[in-house]
Structure 1
């Protein structure tokens, strides 16, 4: 949800790209990978955004940049109410179903009560009738919500089983965001991105390093993994690289261990880039090996009252910067990690999967072409 720093960095980044590879390398990459100029030509899907207002600016920019969107409703206090989020989703689903799709969510109010699961599945079914393609669970599960005894509720709680089993029976994906970036559990001087250092220094109440009474990062990951393993027929989308953004090795292990899971990249590109500056080949190999299990996403968000026209400029800048990193071999400055970052120049076939094919399979398989 903390995209402002990244948006400003993308806008400030020089559009002139630095060539750091030898000419022969560039020639070889150009033969199999896309260039910056191909950005608008290629069909793309951003699998993690939040269109929280009925202003058409977000969808207009997506259309201009050849993107489809999955707007994710989430029980987040800084967002409009779930009812208002659903209203915006229904509006754009009817207005432009070619470019706009959405994921619904549920409230934790009443969890543990005898009727919670029945009411929740009924509410979700109503949203599926309106066009919802997936369901989101957020980090409030495990970090905020508590039961009647005052204990934190974790994502592998048996109380969720009827809902998750229902999703599995309907073949509806669950988008799971558990925990925070691992930086949240580190001292400020050990965090890998400026964005995280800035945010957690300004919001110590959310800096888990300062709160040993709260669950450790490893606990939240173990609970999430237990849930995924316990529901092998449930298709799971690990939001934000499944909160394993700090290590492509760990993200790979997660995918290897859970054949029912995929991951998306939303709001974690800088952490991926931090690793590729240190071991470019390892990061590139991660994308090559798991090319069928990675979805592109950003976490771009448009809320009521925000400058919609400025947002369009910002969204384009983020999308183009990410394309330059993933699809090309060009180098650009990434202020969030204070480094010049060389692009991965992934093959066109891999980019086509990450940017569209995988999302189509996960979310749109039942939809007409």
Structure 2
């Protein structure tokens, strides 16, 4: 038997071990945490009925918001709506959708009333928001042939209806600022590829069209005129090139949030230059940012033009790869190679409480889904 002093020391050490407080949880999540935490992709496009995509979302613990949009490269709006309603019927927990309206007939008598009826019918079938697209400002004209911008007062009856019913608006206005630059001056390869394949939207080729600044000013006037409207600026509100500019937007318009869809590479350019600044931006505005990808599930088409993210014959595999790569960048401090910027990018390693909001709670609150539970 050990001597008395040695025995007392052993007992004391055991007591300290048993009574010690548990070690604090890590400040950030790991890559392995991806598989156990609930997440929400607030910018997704289901352009075909695809149970496999939904199965991958369930496995990866993602809820999806499929955004219907009046985009010529997508199926017609009624077809998008039918697909979304069918997939939500399969799984109303993991799949939500938005509606959209056509600009056909804008400026003619009865347009507002017809549009409101279209929105209300879609909401009755489960739509949780309305999407307006970049055709407003860049393409659409009224019945007199005049270009229509989002701050046009003829939208006011529709927007007043959304305000009264508490229906959020998702607005894709303008394009990345790269759109107004020569190809060799663009900051990311994904923008370069997209605009090379979509010259009609490549504003550098169309100097007589509205400038980036004109489109952003029209959007800002619209947001200012509708302070009660729940406003989501899609694609980082087309301010992806500068977290400083996006911070100013947030400060001016407290009713606005943004999603990150298809703009992480633009952020990675900035965080490679000044990671502490980008990380501090996310922490300061943690209640105003929603995770989203712009993942687009379309029927395979060898003649389809470039999309961002790119189209693939293995969409469930692409979902998983994109989601895991984005998690690595936002949630962990780990580095990874990013093809779109032809460089490695170190992760932001955002605090757990910030990730919980960006990846789930903010979307649930903004789109008025089930009350967010503690993660």
What TM-score, normalized by structure 2, do the two folds share? 0.88
Q: Note if contact 1:239-1:266 (Cα within 8 Å) is conserved in structure 2.
A: yes
Match of 2:317 among 271, 294, 313: 313
Q: TM-score, normalised by structure 1?
A: 0.89
**From 43, 50, 54, the counterpart of 1:48:** 43
Give, in whole Å, the separation in 2 of the partners of 1:326 and 1:366.
25
**Higher relative contact order (Cα pairs below 8 Å, separated by 6+ residues):** 1
Is 2:119 the partner of 1:115? no
The aligned counterpart of 2:330 is: 326
Question: In the alignment, which residue of structure 2 is the partner of 1:222?
Answer: 217
Q: Could you tell me whether the CA contact under 8 Å between 2:42 and 2:292 is conserved in 1?
A: yes
Q: Which residue of 2 aligns with 1:210?
A: 205
Secondary structure class of the residue paired with 2:282: helix
Q: Partner residue of 1:358?
A: 362
Q: Is 1:167 matched up with 2:162?
A: yes
CA distance in 1, matches of 2:96, 2:133: 19
Q: Does the Cα contact within 8 Å between 2:361 and 2:372 map onto a contact in 1? A: no
Matched, 1:248 2:221: no
Q: Which residue of the other structure, out of 26, 32, 39, is the alignment partner of 1:37?
A: 32
The CA distance in 2 between the partners of 1:350 and 1:169, in whole Å, is 31
Distance 1:50 1:201 in 2: 22
Superposition deviation, residue 122 in structure 1: 0.8
Is 2:63 the partner of 1:68? yes
For 2:200 and 2:169, the matched residues in 1 are separated by 29
Aligned equivalent of 2:229: 234
Q: Which among 288, 311, 335 is matched to residue 283 of structure 2?
A: 288
Q: How does 1:120-139 map to 2 (within 5 A)?
A: 120-139=115-134
**Residue 202 of structure 1: CA displacement?**
4.0
Structure 2: segments with no counterpart, 5+ residues: 1-23, 302-310
Distance 1:161 1:333 in 2: 46
Alignment of 1:6-21 (within 5 A): none
Distance 1:110 1:367, change over 3 A: farther
What's the offset of the Cα at 1:304?
A: 2.7
Matched, 1:302 2:302: no
Provide the aligned C-alpha RMSD in A: 1.7
User: Aligned with 2:105: secondary structure?
Assistant: coil
| Equivalence for 1:21 | none
Q: Counterpart in 2 of 1:5?
A: none
**Aligned positions, number:** 341
Q: What is the alpha-carbon distance in structure 2 between the residues aligned to residue 343 and residue 137 of structure 1?
A: 32
Q: Which 5+ residue runs of structure 1 have no aligned equivalent?
A: 1-28
Distance in 1 separating the partners of 2:178 and 2:372 = 41
Q: 1:161 and 1:354 mapped to 2: Cα distance?
A: 30
Deviations, residues 184-236 of structure 1 (Å, cap 9, x unaligned):
00112211001122232344333211211100000000000000000000010
**Alpha-carbon offset, residue 150 of structure 1:** 2.0
